[in-house]
Amino acid sequence: MTKKTNIKKNKKAEEKNQERKPGKTSKSTTGKNIKNTKFNNSYIDSLEEKIISQEHIDIHDFESIGAGQSTQKGVHKTNSSVANAGRKKLSKGKGDEDKAKKRKTRSREFAIVSYIFVGLFIMMIGYFVYFNLFLAVDVINSPYNTRQTLFEDRIIRGEIQARNGEVLARTDIYDDGTETRIYPYGSIFAHVVGYASHGRKGIESLENYSLLASNTFILNRMGNAFAEKKNQGDTVVTTLDVKLQEVAYSALAGYSGAVVVIDASTGKILVNISLPDFNPNTIDAEWEAINSNTEDATLLNRVYQGQYPPGSIFKMLTLLAYMRENSNYEEYTYECTGSITVGEGEEAVTVSCFGETVHGVQNLEQSLANSCNTSFCNIGLLIDNDAFATLAKEFFFNVELPVQLSSSISQFTLNSKSSEGESIMTAIGQGNTLVSPMQMAMITASIANGGILMKPYLIDRIESADGNLVTSYTPTILNTLMTTVEAEVLSRYMTSVVEYGTAAALSGNGYTVAGKTGSAEATEGTHSWFVGFSNVDNPDIIVSIVAENAGNSSGVAVPIAKQIFDAYYR
Amino acid sequence: MINIIVELSKYLMIILTILYTLQCFTVFRHDSKKDLSFGFVRQNVLMFLNHFVAYVVLILQSGNKELVIFYGAQFIFLMATIILFGFIYPKASRLVTNNMCMLLSIGFIMLTRLSYTKALKQFKIVVISMIIALFVPVIIRKMKFLEKLGYVYAIVGLGLLLIVAGFANIQGGALLSLTILGISFQFSEFVKIIFVFGIACFLKNATTFLDIVKVTILAAAHVLTLVLSTDLGGGLIYFVAFLIMLYVSTRQPLYLLGGLLAGSGASVIAYHVFSHIKIRVASWIDPLAVYQNGGLQLSQSLFAIGTGSWFGLGLYQGAPNEIPVAEEDFIFSAIAEEMGGIYGICVILICMSVFIMFINIAMQIKNRFYKLVALGLGTIYGFQVFLTIGGAIKFIPSTGVTLPLISYGGSSIVSTLIMFSIIQGLYILREDEEENLEKQK
């Protein structure tokens, strides 16, 4: 019998044997039916136990095993007490119970190994399910995935609609079977709706999967498959508002720049204008011309990817930084003498107020309302640069915006090593700071909403071509960016900007507005900015407007805002 | 018209495979022998139906008339395997035979779709391997001396690995295989079995801590050799197999924990040393971000799985060949893409059933040596399945190992079929043990 040769009769082995803890019962065996199959042989178990304990085995053991019992009779033990310490004894009385426990003891490690591996498998299946349920749709939308074109063989690309059902994009089929993508509104929705030839951009890219999926009535689909006809893709209903978009489009006409309008309480994006633009209906013909014109960057959706110095609209954040460091901010006072200089000699930096105006004594509210540069330079010197940098990160600097369409990464470079000159320039929104219109809209939106930022979104719902709801999207909270007190204070100050400050043209039109103007100096010229929201007590819409090289903001950005607000409340 | 057939076939194949998979697990109920064997026959029917439906679609879609003959050959082969194993080895595990055939059939289907020439090659190797494998159980049963050849296993196994490592270094780059007479052999596949046998032998006889140290050194030598020839996936599998075998034979959880810690530490070191591990990990974290730098394969794999969703696109309706070398590491993605995510889950469960059957015999057989052998082989199989599928779905970084019996790869087929046959041999041995006891009464 081969097993006998394994028995080494020496003390070391016996002691080692003691270290084993076979006495524990495993509670994990109940789930595994394997041991309970009729093939499990408990008789052999007891024999093995003896072998392990180096008990001497003789023929009597086999007899007793054969009889279905185990007994200590006829077994010659060596160091029996030592060997048996801590282990269950085989005795008639508790025979069955012991056998069961021994079975579990013996299989305990196997059970653990089984559970480890089964556990790994189940986790893997779980991840697989999770991937298919939640991650897949975004992953397969990547332009690297060519499989979606496979769907085009069987599905007619679905429609894209504005919030009230106006068709922004549709596919027409001609008698000879050719398909053309038609954009009824031409270039008005060019960037946001996007295009699907020459790669994919905008909503055409974002919702490519939905547009090429068909959820029409199943019998219709099967009938079509049988007749080898294509099925109609689903309809993507966006949050865009045709009326406002058209107003904003003609208001910005003549300039390059961007306009974005967001619904304050939900985060729905109502307007997305980016100029210069193109006509998606003729994009094939114009493709070469568009791409060779590198100066205009026509294909760029400036709302998300425009990078501009913010100028005075940045003062909202400077103010917030100051408030967070000084709880007595209401007592702030500064005497504006028209200009301020820091540094010495060649490194001296001088900043003046707009038009060299001398504002005199200002508190914080007046500083913002009048957009007093020198006061804000002073504030800039009072703020801790590192704290400012941390705040900037919270307000989406140096990260990609958490929105559906891809955005550029805004820039904020101030840190503890920066010079005073950079501090004051940053405080007034110049220096190295760069922002995108969407980012500024999001910051303004959180001020309007008591500190809570609703996630801006473009897609309201997906419907099948025959009108049934497939998926519906609801507003979600992205984050709380500031306290309600901070939001309220900023909101109040920004109301003053409109009441008696630089955006006074927006007051007295039948609705209240809070906002901030900006003239941002860039190398090419001065950009005209306005960010703000209407109906201050219960904000309706947020606007973020930038007109490139348009000079003083009161000239261009503010009137655009007025047209949009007027149209909204008409 | 073909579209309808393809669409229906998708759902039909999924239903058939789900039923098959369920059967794998219901065998653990206390059914009568008659019910059990009826259940196994039912499994075979389901498998042949699945195989048939798939080939109908393949023939219709590809228009390749040779596939009709190919199908016939496969049908005969699978039937013969089941009958022969049932006839020659009635004591073998019927479930293991069924699962082996099921996985082979799925492999044939997918490989035919991906590349007819490769499928042909694979089929030929499978047939030859199966003939060899038919002899293995009887070898296990009769040759009792196998458990004494510890040093032979160690020397042969380590030797073969060193040869591969040696040539790999000479020619530079990650050479996992040697080409002899025009056929490429991946030695690490065969050595897996030798390794398990060797470790089992030494562990069975180990009683002192020194013995344990000696075995560990042997195992470490194998793992390091593999690492040096940059077969990191293989090294990992060997390491885990050894660890599990060590843990179960000594019953010391400390070894397991210690080994895991050591393994983690080694992985971190390896990460910093090997640049291609860095690429794999970066690819695992965000394959799309590093698409041009090694993320391409995994990205395409995810596209395939995601686009296929639950019910798949249908055979020949997807684009699995967009995944580079889809027939090997990423064949699971191709299956999920065209046959569906549900089908993929069934495949995972069938593999899990195989693993359970391996562990099952390890628990039931009394011979300590074969206990460890079965445990080691089961661990190798189970862990390899986990590594390859986990890597394809981005659950873990991909490690460059293939899916046994399904992926394209001759050496893997031969060694896996031998593994299965060894397990079958052990089932027979177990029955022998029982019979011997009955005779004692």
Whether the predicted pLDDT of A80 surpasses 70: no
Q: Give the closest residue to B418 by CA, choosing from B168, B63, B128, B8.
A: B128
d(CA B412, CA B399) in angstroms, rounded, equals: 16
Phi, psi at A134, each rounded to 5°: -115, -40
Note which residues in 39-78 of chain A have CB less than 8 A from chain B.
39-41, 43-44, 48, 62, 65-66
A298 and A401 together in one domain = yes
Probe site for chain B from A3, A43, A110 (most B CB atoms < 10 A): A110
More confidently predicted of A137 and A326: A326
Are β-strands A349-352 and A360-362 bridged in parallel, bridged antiparallel, or unpaired? unpaired
What residues does A462 pair with on adjacent strands?
Answer: A236, A471
pLDDT of residue B63: 86
Q: Do A132 and B305 touch (CB under 8 A)?
A: yes
CB neighbourhood size of A52 (10 A): 17
Mean pLDDT of A505-510: 87
Separation of alpha carbons A472 and B398, rounded Å: 36
Mean pLDDT of A116-129: 94
Query: How many Cβ atoms sit within 10 Å of the Cβ of residue A28?
Result: 14
Kindly give the pairing relationship between strand A257-263 and strand A541-547: antiparallel
Do A182 and A64 belong together in one domain? Answer: no
Nearest in space to A517 (alpha carbons), one of A500, A499, A498: A498
A198: domain CATH number is 3.90.1310.10
> Do A379 and A524 fall into the same domain?
yes
3-state secondary structure of A49: helix
- Contact list, B28 vs chain A (CB under 8 Å): 33-34, 37
Strand A235-238 and strand A160-161: the pairing is parallel
Q: What is the pLDDT at residue A262? A: 95
> CA B247, CA B259: separation in Å to the nearest integer?
9
- N-to-C CA span, chain A: 101
Same domain, A322 and A442: yes
Q: To the nearest 10°, report the CA torsion of B121, B126, B131, B134.
A: 170
In-domain check, residue A241: yes
The question of ipTM being above 0.85 is answered as yes
A108 with A155, same domain? no
Residue A15: what pLDDT?
40
Instruction: Choose from A222-236, A479-493, B167-181 the range with maximum mean pLDDT.
Output: A479-493
- The nearest alpha carbon in chain A to B148 belongs to A2
DSSP for A77-102 reads: -SSHHHHHTTS----STTHHHHHHHH
Out of B248, B299, B386, closest to residue A110 by CB: B248
Task: For residue A539, give the 3-state DSSP assignment.
Answer: coil
- From A133, which residue of chain B is nearest by alpha-carbon distance? B309
A45 has pLDDT over 60: no
A88 with A164, same domain: the answer is no
Indicate yes or no: CB of B309 within 8 angstroms of CB of A34.
no
Q: What is the DSSP letter of A556?
A: T
How far apart (Å, rounded) are the C-alpha atoms in residues A436 and A313?
A: 12
- CATH number of the domain bearing residue A523: 3.40.710.10
Is residue A298 located within the same domain as residue A332? yes
Strand-pair category, A469-472 with A459-463:
antiparallel
Assigned domain for A228 exists: yes
Indicate whether A140 belongs to any domain. Answer: no
CB B197, CB B242: distance < 8 Å: no
CA A400 to chain CA mean position, Å = 9
C-alpha torsion sign, points B215, B218, B224, B226: negative
Q: Which residues contact A369 (CB under 8 A, 6 or more apart)?
A: A493, A496, A497, A499, A500, A501, A502
Mean pLDDT value across chain A: 80
Alpha carbon separation from B413 to A512, B100, B104, B127, B417 (Å, rounded): 77, 11, 9, 10, 6
From residue B5, give the alpha-carbon distance in Å to each of A480, B1, B336: 54, 7, 19
| Cβ(A261)–Cβ(A541) below 8 Å | yes
Long-range contacts of B114-120 (CB under 8 A, 24+ apart): B114/B320, B114/B321, B114/B326, B114/B327, B114/B331, B114/B334, B115/B327, B115/B408, B116/B62, B116/B64, B116/B66, B116/B67, B116/B70, B118/B327, B118/B408, B119/B70, B120/B70
Residues A58 and A25 in one domain: yes
Report yes or no: A474 and A268 within 8 Å, Cβ to Cβ.
no
A60 has a pLDDT exceeding 60: no
Question: Which of chain B's residues have a Cβ under 8 Å away from the Cβ of A223?
Answer: none
For residue A139, list chain B residues with Cβ-Cβ distance below 8 A.
Answer: 288, 302-303, 306
Q: How far apart are CA A142 and CA B30, in angstroms?
A: 51
Cα of A528 to nearest chain B Cα, Å: 36
In a domain, A13, yes or no: yes
Last-in-domain residue among A116, A136, A163: A116
For residues A354-366, one letter each, b for 16 or more C-beta atoms within 10 angstroms of the residue's C-beta and e for the rest, the string is beeeebeebbbbb
**Max intra-chain CA distance, chain B:** 71
Instruction: Report helix, strand or coil for A395.
Output: coil
pLDDT at B30: 64
Chain centre distance of CA A302: 20
Contact B319 A146 (CB under 8 A): yes
Token pair belonging to B202: 């030494």
pLDDT, tens only, A85-111: 434 344 444 444 544 444 444 578 888
Residues A152 and A101 in one domain: no
Q: Is A129 inside any structural domain?
A: no
Tell whether A398 lies on the interface with B, counting CB pairs under 8 A. Answer: no
Q: Are residues A16 and A162 in the same domain?
A: no
Query: For residue A230, which residues of chain B lie inside 8 Å, CB to CB?
Result: none
From first to last of its 441 residues, what are the pLDDT tens digits of chain B? 677 788 888 899 999 999 999 988 887 776 677 777 888 888 899 999 999 999 999 998 888 888 899 999 999 999 999 999 888 888 888 899 999 999 999 999 999 999 999 899 899 999 999 999 998 888 888 877 777 777 777 788 887 777 777 765 554 445 556 665 556 677 778 888 989 988 888 888 877 888 888 888 888 888 888 887 778 888 899 999 999 998 888 888 888 888 889 888 988 888 888 887 888 888 899 888 888 888 888 999 999 999 888 888 888 888 888 888 888 889 999 999 999 999 999 999 999 999 999 998 998 888 888 889 999 999 999 999 999 999 999 999 988 888 999 999 888 899 999 999 999 999 888 888 888 888 887
Distances (CA, A) of B370 to B366, B428, B436: 8, 12, 17
Contact A128 B395 (CB under 8 A): yes
Region A232-257 average pLDDT: 93
Q: Give me the pLDDT at residue A495, please.
A: 93
Confidence of residue A73 (pLDDT cuts 50, 70, 90): very low
Q: Which residue of A has its CA nearest to B256?
A: A113
| Strand partners of residue A454 | A477
* A123, part of any domain: no
Among partner residues B4, B362, B394, which is closest to A226 by beta-carbon distance? B4
Q: Is A166 part of a structural domain of the chain?
A: yes
Instruction: Inform me whether the pLDDT recorded for A31 exceeds 50.
Output: no
Sign (positive or negative) of CA dihedral B414, B415, B418, B420: negative
Do A238 and A253 fall within a single domain?
Answer: no
Counted domains in chain A: 3
Instruction: Tell me the mean pLDDT in the region A303-323.
Output: 92
- The amino acid at residue A161 is Q
Distance from the first to the final alpha carbon of chain B = 67
Find the helix packing angle between B410-440 and A42-52, rounded to 10°: 100
Q: Which residues on B lie below 8 Å from A154 (Cβ)?
A: 3
- What's the predicted TM-score (pTM) here? 0.72
d(CA A30, CA B341): 31
Distance CA B324, CA B34 (A): 47
CB contact under 8 A, B345 and A148: no
Buried-exposed string A8-19: b where 16+ CB fall within 10 A, e elsewhere: eeeeeebeebee
3-class secondary structure, A568: helix
Instruction: Check if the beta carbon of residue B168 is closer than 8 Å to that of residue B230.
Output: yes
Question: Which residue of B lies nearest to A6 if distances are taken between CA atoms?
Answer: B205
Per-residue pLDDT, A449: 93
**H-helix segments, A131-230:** 136-140, 148-151, 190-193, 202-206, 208-211, 218-226
Q: Which H/E stretch holds residue A351?
A: strand A349-352
Domain that holds residue A43: 2-116
In this structure, are A325 and A364 located in the same domain?
yes
Indicate if the pLDDT at residue A84 is higher than 80. Answer: no
Strand A459-463 with A235-238, pairing:
antiparallel
Size of interface A-B (CB pairs under 8 A): 164
Q: Say yes or no to pLDDT of A459 above 80.
A: yes
Residue A125 belongs to some domain of the structure? no
Question: A546 pLDDT exceeds 80?
Answer: yes
CB-nearest to A124 from B7, B205, B348 is: B348
Cβ–Cβ under 8 Å, residues A534 and A541: yes
Search chain B and give the residue with CA nearest A106.
Answer: B363
Name the token pair of B74.
């496969």
The alpha-carbon radius of gyration of chain B (Å, integer) is: 22
Handedness of CA A148, A151, A157, A163 (dihedral sign): negative
Q: Minimal Cα distance from B346: which residue of A?
A: A125
